[in-house]
């Protein structure tokens, strides 16, 4: 599940493969960029902002441009050595290929692939709240943005990238379990919002630099989460069957005993 940590890792892979390199060939397989040719452009750097990827480029005219992409549920970038077989994903999922003398970067099933002047990046990422893995991470601002909508359920608020950028469904479910808070609790009823925000940041930061996401500390298959993906399996703390239900536009997983409803908070049942 690509969340902030996965996107951060991906940005680092692209940076190591391409930063400073001259592009020797590009192949865009999306209609909006079908005629774009980045040959002789230079890769300045690769960065992430929440769940958005920003590949910053210098055109031969020395103008600064940004190739933006979003992984959503299923996108990926892979870097290969020249001549190496592209083993990442089926070829029909390829959306872009960037060749350089030292590496080939292939983007699979990317979303929102756009090329914009770097000065206009804010049109794509300016709405985002503080980036949990950004060098400018601002927990107080994240708490302020969350608290601005006290009636919203905390389950939906943590996923709203305008509040804080980087949390996806996995970390949302896990953070709520670890804090003992029902996903249906209104933000205004969450006992320790700063503590929850701090935990979300620690979980994402702990998973930087590896591709297996774990909230339990275990990297063993089937043991990496407390509640996410574990419907009907026993809670690791109390043995109660983990539940799965729709909340807003996404499903949520939780333990009804470890994450009790509080008086005044509404439930979908």
Q: Tell me the window of 135-143, 159-167, 214-222, 252-260 that interacts with Zn ion (CB under 5 A).
A: 252-260
Concerning whether 2 is annotated as a catalytic residue, the answer is: yes
Please answer whether residues 63 and 117 qualify as being in contact, where contact means their C-beta atoms are separated by less than 8 angstroms. yes
- Within residues 228-247, the interface with Zn ion by CB under 5 A covers 235, 237-238, 240
Helix (H, G, I), strand (E, B) or coil at 33: helix
Tokens 């870097």 -> residue: 79
Query: Sign of dihedral through CA atoms 248, 249, 250, 251?
Result: positive
When CB distances to Zn ion are compared, the closest residue is 235
Concerning whether 51 is annotated as a catalytic residue, the answer is: yes
Nearer to Zn ion, 131 or 174 (CB): 174
| 146 is an interface residue for Zn ion by CB under 5 A | no
Number of residues lying near Zn ion (CB under 5 A): 7
Q: Residue 4: beta bridge partners?
A: none
**Phi, psi for 227 (deg, rounded to 5):** -130, -35
Q: Which of 243, 244, 250, 262 is catalytic?
A: 250
Helix (H, G, I), strand (E, B) or coil at 144: helix
Nearest-angstrom CA–CA distance, 45 and 225: 33
- The CB-of-119 to Zn ion minimum distance in angstroms stands at 50
- The CB-of-239 to Zn ion minimum distance in angstroms stands at 7
Please answer whether residues 141 and 90 qualify as being in contact, where contact means their C-beta atoms are separated by less than 8 angstroms. no
| 257 is an interface residue for Zn ion by CB under 5 A | yes
**How many CA within 13 A on the CB side of residue 207?**
30
Of these, 33, 170, 178, 255, which contacts Zn ion (CB under 5 A)?
A: 255
Nearer to Zn ion, 111 or 236 (CB): 236
Tokens 């930061």 -> residue: 205
| 258 is an interface residue for Zn ion by CB under 5 A | yes
Please answer whether residues 108 and 75 qualify as being in contact, where contact means their C-beta atoms are separated by less than 8 angstroms. yes
**How many CA within 13 A on the CB side of residue 155?**
28
- The CB-of-185 to Zn ion minimum distance in angstroms stands at 16
- The CB-of-180 to Zn ion minimum distance in angstroms stands at 9
Concerning whether 3 is annotated as a catalytic residue, the answer is: yes
Q: Which of 44, 49, 51, 99 is catalytic?
A: 51
Nearer to Zn ion, 41 or 254 (CB): 254
Contact letters for Zn ion, residues 193-232 (x by CB under 5 A)? ----------------------------------------
Concerning whether 162 is annotated as a catalytic residue, the answer is: no
Helix (H, G, I), strand (E, B) or coil at 87: coil
Nearest-angstrom CA–CA distance, 198 and 166: 13
- The CB-of-248 to Zn ion minimum distance in angstroms stands at 23
Residues that bind Zn ion (CB under 5 A): 235, 237-238, 240, 255, 257-258
Active centre residues (catalytic): 2-3, 51, 250
């Amino acid at each position: 599940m690509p969340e902030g940590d996965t996107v951060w890792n991906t940005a680092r892979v692209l940076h190591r493969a391409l930063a400073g390199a001259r592009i020797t060939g590009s192949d865009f397989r999306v209609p909006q960029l079908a005629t774009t040719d980045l040959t002789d452009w230079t890769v300045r750097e690769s960065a992430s902002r929440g769940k958005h990827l920003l590949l910053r480029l210098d055109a031969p005219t020395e103008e600064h441009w940004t190739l933006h992409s979003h992984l959503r549920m299923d996108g990926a970038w892979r870097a290969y050595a020249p001549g190496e077989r592209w083993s990442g994903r089926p070829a029909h999922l390829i959306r872009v290929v960037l060749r350089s003398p030292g590496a080939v970067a292939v983007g699979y099933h990317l979303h929102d692939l756009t090329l914009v002047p770097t000065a206009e990046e804010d049109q794509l990422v300016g709405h985002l709240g503080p980036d949990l893995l950004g060098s400018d991470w601002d927990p107080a601002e994240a708490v302020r943005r969350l608290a601005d909508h006290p009636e919203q359920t905390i389950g939906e608020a943590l996923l709203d990238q305008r509040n804080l950028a980087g949390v996806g469904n996995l970390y949302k479910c896990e953070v709520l379990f670890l804090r003992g808070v029902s996903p249906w609790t209104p933000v205004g009823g969450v006992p320790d919002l700063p503590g929850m925000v701090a935990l979300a940041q620690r979980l994402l930061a702990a998973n930087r630099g590896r591709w297996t996401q774990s909230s339990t500390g275990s990297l063993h298959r089937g043991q990496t989460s407390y509640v996410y993906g574990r419907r009907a399996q026993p809670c690791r703390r109390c043995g109660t069957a983990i539940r799965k239900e729709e909340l807003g536009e996404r499903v949520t997983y939780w333990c009804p005993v470890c994450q009790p409803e509080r008086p005044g908070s509404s439930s979908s049942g």
